Amino acid sequence: MRVTYRGIYRPPSLTPIWVLLAVNLLVFLATLIQRSLIFDTFGLTPFLLGQQPWTFITNLFVHASFWHLFGNMLMLYFFGSYLLGLAGEKMFLAIYFLAGLAGNALFLLIGNEFSTAIGASGALYGVMGTLAVMRPRLKVYLWFMVPVDLWIVVLVGALVISPGIAWQAHLGGLALGLLAGLYLRRSRRIPF
Tell me how far apart the alpha carbons of residues 148 and 84 are, in angstroms, rounded to a whole number. 21
pLDDT for the residue 190: 58
CATH number at residue 147: 1.20.1540.10
Q: Report the percent of the chain where pLDDT is more than 70.
A: 89
pLDDT < 70 positions in the chain = 1-12, 161-163, 189-192
Is 5 part of any domain? no
User: Taking every pair of C-alpha atoms in the chain, what is the biggest distance, in angstroms?
Assistant: 56
Give the length of the chain: 192
CA atoms within 13 A on the CB side of 23: 13
Contact indicator for 115, 45 with CB cutoff of 8 Å: yes
- pLDDT score recorded for residue 4: 45
Query: How many domains does one find in the chain?
Result: 1
Task: Note whether residue 88 is domain-resident.
Answer: yes
Type of residue found at 128: M
Please check whether residue 93 lies inside any domain of the structure. Answer: yes
Question: Which domain covers residue 165, as residue numbers?
Answer: 15-188
How is residue 44 annotated by DSSP?
B
